[in-house]
Amino acid sequence: MCGIAGIFNLKKEKRHASAIRAMTDAMAHRGPDADGFFVDEKTALGHRRLSIIDLSAGANQPIFDENGRYALIFNGEIYNFREIIPLLPEYHFRTKSDSEVILAAYAKWGKNCLAHLNGMFAFVIYDKIAGTLFAARDRLGIKPFYYFLDGDRFVFSSEIRSLLASGLVPRRLDRAALRNYLVFQSVYAPFTILEGVLQLMPGECATISAAGMEKEFYWKIEQPPADVDVFDQKTTEKRVRELLSASIERRMIADVPLGAFLSGGIDSSAVVALMAQASERPVDTFTVSFAEKQFDESRFADTIARKYNTRHTTIRLAPDDFLRSLPEAFEAIDSPSGDGLNTYVVSKATKNAGITVALSGLGGDELFAGYPYFNRFQKVHYARPLYLLLPRAIRHPLFSVARNAFSSNKKLGRLLQTFQAPAPTIDEIYPIFRLVNSPKEANDVLGTSGFPELIIQKLLRDRQSYMSTLPALSQYSVAEMLGYTLNVLIKDTDQFSMASALEVREPFFDYKLVEYVLRVPDRLKLDKTSAKPLLVRSLGDLLPGSIVHRPKMGFVFPWKHWLQHDLRAFCEKYLENLSKYGVFDPKIIHRLWSEFLGNKGEGASYVIIWQLVVLSFWLEKNKIEC
């Protein structure tokens, strides 16, 4: 796990030694163990290293192949690197690192090397002879890759702040992306909050040369290979268990202390149980404990820790601990997000406990239909006859009246809103379920009208032909992994864990497991026996009933109280600062804030207030122009 940065000249040759050092300095937190540079007239490469595999200095980056033609900078882990080595008998390895395996694989197979790699990664290879760059991002987008391309140069990095530190990237707000931020609490890939700064998509690679940038997908989540046609229950459960076990074993390879987050929920408990089976020594587990009993999950975590004899550490936190962490958490923000504070605090506490790598249960809900949205989409999806029976001209006003009648029930209102969509397809329904604020609320804040097509809606529509061939629940899994999961959960996990130089690995995002589960029929994924029944049954007796049937919990920050009291002056300062950018309607923001403080109207929700405060802080800190 590291940070990468680079500058590639498309036309005029120029050395960027000072700029590349500024870029790596800006993300020193990602790699406190070493830094490295390569600079010539064509390109500048920089690297910050968090040493995980092969701790020797010989594995520092940039790293060159044995012939000196290719230079690699790499962020992430290749979990199957030892399996690839026997396929490269002609290459003379000088290190025991996964980084050099990428180089050797590229030297032999070119871009087709990606078919052999199983891991989380973002890397760039500079070909000194051809004068080109090759860049790639992993299949699920676990590791970030930001870039800026103009007619003169290609600038890239693991973080946006690093791009800005180069002095070569304009500090301009993308107004279209801003609307998406207000609606979804994050800007969805391939865009970012900055104009001209983009992201490689999951499963995408690119070749950059003097002619520009050529991108292509080497893997798409909505196109899992059709290598199995029949799914009986026992075969499916056995295969899920095999794939998840293999994923976890691969992610336990490290030359530094490794542990696991353990909340006591199904997903993290499954990870710990399978880690214990694969390990010859007790697993280190970490749980966050709260004094508030209604939020505290430590008793469930203790059950798993005792069952598998883990070396268990309970990290006791109070709401004030989160409040005190706000200043440093704000400084850790690389890309504005309405969420993520909990990830920062938990990651910092885990790192302070002596762990460098932690396995997480993130992804279990997305893959095994663990959110209520899955069941709701399935109902809407199979309500197609109602859509055909009632033309939209009739359906729209009918359900609009019903929605207004039940306006106090947000869940029901959101479900009724789906029946106003043109069709019960994933591109129409998913954005409705994942709205944080309505397009109207976003327009009010910006003093605008109308609304451009949502980023996620266009992305899903473009992929609809393949997605429609998947089971309904799998369609929602794909949408979730390209939407909220990628752009909020995964992004926040990366930026807030790496702020403390903690590597987080997610076994549920192993692409082989994902490909298989996406082809499993709906009937095996949802029933009334438990949450995520396919996952639970595949684990057999590994999880006790107290874990399987426990209520779903989560710590809820007292945001409303904080914003109205402890953080009131802080919020007022940054809400007022928004008026200087000329993009926001100060009257609307003032009204929302007043209604929030007075606990009246829709403005009483803290969500849009907090998003605006976070955004304002980020705009000021990074000196962004609007």
Active site residues: 2
3-class state of residue 135 by DSSP: strand
Q: How far apart (Å, rounded) are the C-alpha atoms in residues 368 and 454?
A: 26
3-class state of residue 315 by DSSP: strand
Angle between helices 586-597 and 606-621 (to 10 degrees): 130
DSSP secondary structure code for residue 599 in this structure: T
Cα torsion at 577, 581, 586, 588 (round to 10°)? -110
> What residue type is assigned to position 294 of the chain?
Q
Distance of CA 489 to the CA centre of its chain: 4
CB atoms within 10 A of CB 617: 18
Q: How far apart (Å, rounded) are the C-alpha atoms in residues 190 and 198?
A: 6
Interstrand relation of 63-64 and 258-261 (parallel, antiparallel or unpaired): unpaired
Are 538 and 240 within 8 A, CB to CB? yes
What is the enclosing helix (H) or strand (E) of 387?
Answer: helix 384-389
Interior/surface letters 575-608, b for 16+ CB within 10 angstroms, e for the rest: bebbeeeebbbeebbeebbebbbeeeeebebbeb
In 3D space, the residue among 158, 249, 242 whose CA is nearest the CA of residue 197 turns out to be 158
Q: How far apart (Å, rounded) are the C-alpha atoms in residues 619 and 625?
A: 8
HSE value, Cβ hemisphere, 13 Å, CA-based, for 201: 19
Q: Using alpha carbons only, what angle is made at residue 357 by residues 341 and 297, rounded to the nearest 5 degrees?
A: 50
Are 7 and 43 within 8 A, CB to CB? yes
Q: How far apart (Å, rounded) are the C-alpha atoms in residues 234 and 513?
A: 16
What is the enclosing helix (H) or strand (E) of 125?
Answer: strand 119-127
CA distances from 60 to 54, 75, 494, 626 (A): 9, 12, 21, 39
3-class state of residue 178 by DSSP: helix
Residues 6+ apart with CB under 8 A from 577: 616, 619, 620
In 3D space, the residue among 294, 357, 343, 361 whose CA is nearest the CA of residue 551 turns out to be 294
Residue with tokens 């990651």: 347
> What residue type is assigned to position 507 of the chain?
P
Q: How far apart (Å, rounded) are the C-alpha atoms in residues 240 and 257?
A: 28
Interstrand relation of 43-49 and 311-317 (parallel, antiparallel or unpaired): unpaired
Rg of the chain in Å (alpha carbons): 24
In 3D space, the residue among 89, 114, 100 whose CA is nearest the CA of residue 53 turns out to be 100
Are 197 and 147 within 8 A, CB to CB? yes
